[in-house]
Structure 1
Amino acid sequence: MQDPRESSKTEAIIEHATAKCKQNGGQLTEKRKKILLCLTGTQKALSAYEVADLYKEQYGQSMSPMSVYRILDFLQEQGLIHRLQIANKYISCMHITCAHSHETAQFLICSNCFKVKEVSIDPALISELRQNVADAGFVFASQQLEVNCLCEDCKNL
């Protein structure tokens, strides 16, 4: 039996995601909802193939990787998930049910198990980093900051 808190959290995620998609002129179809729930149910980043496997495991239906990629692209455009460039994997936004805007996404990514933590970083530090990058003659290719790390569990292996 599902924990009532989890059920309430799931309902809040779907309600917010549906409203956000509608506001942006999109629609959160049943398959899109299920893919989103696959990602919100894990703390690890997942590849499109891993999402397809999880979708089949949880819902008993197969979905082609190409369909999963299209859905992931849609969810990313809606600001509901993030694509992690370092790992070429996806994770749900930790601020998925928040109504206010957020700073640039910052991710700590375990290079061993792909557990991901979205963290807030002082805007002054980001500004300093931008300046250092500019001083070196570069510009950010992405506003998203990803840091390759080892999580607490993996560092002791």
Structure 2
Amino acid sequence: MKSVAAVIHHAEEHCKANGSRLTEKRKHVLTGLIKSDKALSAYELIDFCKNEFGETIPAMSVYRILVFLQDEKLVHKLNLANKFVACAHITCDHAHGVPQFLICNQCHKVSEINIEKSTIETLKNSVQAAGFHLVTPQIELNCVCETCLSAAA
């Protein structure tokens, strides 16, 4: 796994290539998500920035930063939990499938996996056949991670 500094540097280059800028506050919020193995709320990110960098960022600013990071495809929002995770593929330069999220319902660890676009296309067709229109193909699966499963045994 790459260091946080290497991931942040790659994110900076990504933003620069898209004509935007990864400011210090944006770096701080992204760092919190990169360092965490679970999804974080805006308020948890406020606490992280205060504890880690001694900087208090207002909630509205954190929400704006999260929207920016989402638009840049550096973070993902977990809709069911209303929390955010860093994209597992920030440093990749190749195409990926549609991201899906495995969420441990015990320790709340989150892992990002990819599902082939053809699988999502099949799902989309099934949704349309049922008389609905797919808004987002993101799936958040309730799971138990190996660590929690082993601890329960």
- Report whether the alignment pairs 1:107 with 2:101: yes
1:151 match: 145
Residue 35 (structure 1) aligned to one of 29, 37, 46: 29
8 Å CA contact retained: 1:106, 1:120: yes
- Report whether the alignment pairs 1:94 with 2:88: yes
Alpha-carbon distance between aligned partners in 2 of 1:113 and 1:55, rounded to the nearest angstrom: 22
2:75 match: 81
Gaps of 5+ in 1: 1-5
Q: Residue 12 of structure 1 aligns to which amino acid in structure 2?
A: A
8 Å CA contact retained: 2:42, 2:62: yes
Alpha-carbon distance between aligned partners in 2 of 1:133 and 1:111, rounded to the nearest angstrom: 27
Residue-by-residue CA offset, 1:98-124 (whole Å, 9 max, x unaligned): 011221111112234321110122444
Q: CA RMSD in A?
A: 1.9
Alpha-carbon distance between aligned partners in 2 of 1:46 and 1:25, rounded to the nearest angstrom: 27
Alpha-carbon distance between aligned partners in 2 of 1:104 and 1:120, rounded to the nearest angstrom: 5
8 Å CA contact retained: 1:109, 1:115: yes
8 Å CA contact retained: 1:104, 1:145: no
- Report whether the alignment pairs 1:51 with 2:71: no
- Report whether the alignment pairs 1:11 with 2:11: no
Q: CA deviation at 1:62?
A: 1.3
State the identity %.
Answer: 48
Identify which range, 107-116 or 10-19, moves more after superposition: 107-116
8 Å CA contact retained: 2:4, 2:35: no
1:24 match: 18
Give the secondary structure class of the aligned counterpart of 1:105. strand
Q: Residue 95 of structure 1 aligns to which amino acid in structure 2?
A: H
8 Å CA contact retained: 1:44, 1:91: yes
Alpha-carbon distance between aligned partners in 2 of 1:112 and 1:133, rounded to the nearest angstrom: 30
